[in-house]
Amino acid sequence: MLRRRVTRWVTMGLAAALAAALGAAPVVASDPTMTFGRSSLGTGCSPAIECFDDASFQAVDKIQPGAISVTAGTTVRFPVDGFHQVAIYEAGTTRDEIQPAGFLVDDPVGRVHLGPSPFGGDASTTFTFQTPGKYLIICNITPHFQFTSMWGYARVR
C-alpha cells in the first residue's frame, strides 16, 4: 500500500512538472458536474436486472459524463439521481485496485472523499480537487460499480 502511494506521488509530481515545462494549457470543463444516475430513463420493468431493455440498470445507473477535465482548485458537483453514493479515490487509483466489501464497496484504501449515505435521502455532494492527477470516481454501491461499470475519472491539471 505504501509503495502504491509513493509511486502515485512521484507520478503526479512528474506529470505536473512535465505539463508546466511544456506550457500545456489545461482543458477546463465549462460545467464541472458529474451526475450519478438517470432515474427518468426506462419503462419501469422490474426487476431491472432481468429486463435487459432501457429500464435495466445498465441504462439508469451511469455517471454522466464518464470523464471530466478541470484545473486544480476546481470544485466539482456530483448531483445524485437515484440510489447512489459518490466515492473518490486518490490520483492514480485504478478500478481493479478497488475491493468491494459487500453491498457497499466501502474500500477505504486511497479514498479521498465519500459522499453522503444513499440511505439518508439526497446523496449529492461536491469535492474540490486540489492536486493534479487522474482521480477514480465510483458509485459505492457494489452492484452498480461491478455490474454496470458505474465509474469514471476526473483529470485534474
Residue 81: CATH number of its domain: 2.60.40.420
pTM for the whole structure? 0.74
Give the total number of structural domains in the chain: 1
C-alpha to C-alpha distance for 143 and 104, rounded to whole angstroms: 8
Name the grid cell of 114: 465519500
Q: 80 Cβ partners below 8 Å, 6+ apart?
A: 35, 36, 37, 86, 115, 118, 122, 123, 124, 125
**Residue 134: its H or E element:** strand 133-139
pLDDT at 23 (0 to 100):
42
Asked if pLDDT for residue 156 goes beyond 50, the answer is: yes
pLDDT at residue 139, as a whole number = 95
Three cell numbers written together for 154:
476526473
Please state, in angstroms and rounded to a whole number, the distance separating the CA atoms of residues 29 and 106.
29
Q: Which domain holds residue 115?
A: 2-156
